[in-house]
Amino acid sequence: MDLFAKCTLDDRPDVYRAMGIYPYFHEIEANHGPTVTIGGHEVIMAGSNNYLGLTKHPDVIAASQKAAAEYGTSCSGSRFLNGNYVIHIAFEEELADWVGVEKCLAFTSGFLTNQGIIPTMVGKGEYVVSDKDNHASIVAGTLIAKALAAEVKRYRCNDMDNLSKVLNTIPEGAPTLVVSDAVFSMSGIVVHLPELVKRSKAKGARIMIDEAHSLGVLGKTGRGVAEHYGMKNGRDIDIVMGTFSKSFASLGGFCGGPKEVIDFIKHHSMALIFAASMPPSAVAAAHAALKIIKREPERVEQLHKNALYARQGLRSVGFTIPDDPTPIIPVVIGDDTKTFQFSHRLLQEGVFVNPVISPAVPQGMQLLRTFFMATHEKKHLDHVVESFAKVGHELGVLE
C-alpha cells in the first residue's frame, strides 16, 4: 500500500466541513485581547491561553519591537553555538529569581522543553513515571526516553495511591523522575502536589512539574503550583518546567532547577542544542510580561475573580463544572458531532471556545474547553454564560 493512502482514509474533517460545523483552524483576522475578529465579526475569545491578557499590552509590544530592531528578527542558530544573546541570559536570571530556582534555561517552545528535559535526564536503566493525562509534549519526551532505553511507567490521573503502586514496582534505589502537569490542560484539575511530593520523595524519586497553565495563574503572586500549596520550588519540586506562550504572552519555554542539572541539560539536550533559539522579539516580550506579572499581582487576582464568576455562571444555568480554582473550565458534551455543533452555534452567538474530542479526552468525555482571561469584562463573561445556556437548551444538552 502507498505511504500516502492513509491520508484519505480518515474522512471526518471532510464530513464536518460538508456539515458546515468543522471547528478547527479558524482564521483569526485581528486580536483585540479579550475579543478577536473572525469572518469579519468580533467574537469573545474564551479559548485562548492569554490568561493575563498581556499579548496586547503596550509594554510587551514595545519591548518586542525594540529587541527586533536591536538584535534582528532571528538568532539564526541554537543557543549552543551562535544563538545565545545577552537578552536570553538576563531574562533567565530574573526568571530563576522569581521562580525560586538556582538556574533557568530557555528553549524555543514549551513542547521542545519537555522533549528536551525528559530524555536528557532519564536514560538507560532509569525510570520516568508520568501521569496518564500529562500533556502531549511530556508524552513525546517519554517516548524519546523510551527509545533511548529508559523505562516508562504511567499512573492514573492525579491518583496518588496509583502513583505509589507504580513507584513500588520500581527496583529500590533505581534513578526515577516523577512528572506531572501542575494544571491538567483539558480538565483544569490541579495536581495533588503535597501527596505527589511526599510519595515520590519517600521512594527517593526526583520531581518535575509542568507549570504551563499555573505560572501567572496559581498562587497569590502567580508563581505557580508550589506557591498555591505553600510549598517551595527548589525544595519540593526539583525541576520546574514552563512555557512563555500562555501568561507570558510570547513563545518559548524553560526549565528551572539546580545549577548542575541545568548545566547538564545545556550540554546534553538535543532539543536545545539542535534547535534555533527563541528570537529576540519573543525573549523581550516574555521578559516584559514577567516584569508586569511581578509589579501587578492584581492581574492574577482579577483572573481568579473572572474564572470564579464564569464557573458560577455556567453552573447556575445547569452545567456540571469542576471546582478547581483555574481559568480552564471544561463543559462536557459527550459526543463528537454535538460538541462541534455546540461550538459552531457558540461562534454564531459571538463566543469562541475549543471543542475537544478523543484521543485528547476519552470517548464520552468530549468537551468544550473554555479559558478565561484577566482582561475579560463582566459583559463578556455574561455573554459567554448566556450563549452557553441558549445553545445548551437548543441542542438538548440542558433540560
Ligand X SMILES: Cc1ncc(COP(=O)(O)O)c(C=O)c1O
Q: Which stretch binds ligand X (CB under 6 A): 54-62, 107-115, 187-195, 313-321?
A: 107-115
Which of the residues 162 through 201 are near ligand X (CB under 6 A)? 181, 185
* 3-state DSSP assignment of residue 54: helix
Residues in contact with ligand X, shown as a per-residue x/- string from 116 to 135 under the rule CB under 6 A: -------------------x
Provide the grid cell at 74: 532571528
Of the two residues 252 and 392, which places its CB atom closer to ligand X in the complex?
Answer: 252
Smallest gap from Cβ 114 to ligand X, in A, equals 6
Of the two residues 248 and 342, which places its CB atom closer to ligand X in the complex?
Answer: 248
Which regions of the chain does DSSP assign to beta strands (E)?
28-31, 35-38, 41-45, 103-107, 127-131, 151-155, 176-181, 206-210, 239-243, 253-257, 328-332, 351-352, 354-356, 367-371
Please state, in angstroms and rounded to a whole number, the distance separating the CA atoms of residues 136 and 17: 26
Q: Which of 150, 120, 117 is nearest to 134 (CA)?
A: 117
Q: Is 243 in the site for ligand X (CB under 6 A)?
A: yes
Of the two residues 137 and 387, which places its CB atom closer to ligand X in the complex?
Answer: 137
Q: Is 103 in the site for ligand X (CB under 6 A)?
A: no
Please state, in angstroms and rounded to a whole number, the distance separating the CA atoms of residues 381 and 368: 16
Q: Is 236 in the site for ligand X (CB under 6 A)?
A: no
Please state, in angstroms and rounded to a whole number, the distance separating the CA atoms of residues 392 and 333: 9
Of the two residues 109 and 130, which places its CB atom closer to ligand X in the complex?
Answer: 109
> Which of 137, 158, 281, 326 is in the footprint of ligand X by CB under 6 A?
137
Total number of residues that touch ligand X (CB under 6 A): 14
> Which of 253, 279, 330, 355 is in the footprint of ligand X by CB under 6 A?
253
Which of the residues 291 through 330 are near ligand X (CB under 6 A)? none
Smallest gap from Cβ 180 to ligand X, in A, equals 10
Please state, in angstroms and rounded to a whole number, the distance separating the CA atoms of residues 31 and 157: 35
Q: Is 110 in the site for ligand X (CB under 6 A)?
A: yes
Smallest gap from Cβ 177 to ligand X, in A, equals 16
**What residues are paired with 31 via a beta bridge?**
36
Adjacency order of strands within the sheet including 151-155? 103-107, 253-257, 239-243, 206-210, 176-181, 127-131, 151-155
Q: Which of 279, 264, 267 is nearest to 88 (CA)?
A: 279
Provide the grid cell at 279: 528570537
Residue 175: asked if its preceding bond is cis (omega within 30°), the reply is no
> Which of 92, 131, 210, 227 is in the footprint of ligand X by CB under 6 A?
210
Smallest gap from Cβ 145 to ligand X, in A, equals 16
Smallest gap from Cβ 191 to ligand X, in A, equals 11
Smallest gap from Cβ 139 to ligand X, in A, equals 10
Smallest gap from Cβ 386 to ligand X, in A, equals 28
Q: Is 64 in the site for ligand X (CB under 6 A)?
A: no
Smallest gap from Cβ 63 to ligand X, in A, equals 19
Write the DSSP string, 120-177: HHS-TT-EEEEETT--HHHHHHHHHHHHTT-EEEEE-TT-HHHHHHHHHTSPTT--EE
Smallest gap from Cβ 231 to ligand X, in A, equals 19
Strands 351-352 and 41-45: parallel
Number of residues written out for the chain: 399
> Which of 111, 248, 371, 372 is in the footprint of ligand X by CB under 6 A?
111
Residues that bind ligand X (CB under 6 A): 109-111, 114, 135, 137, 181, 185, 210, 212-213, 243, 245, 253
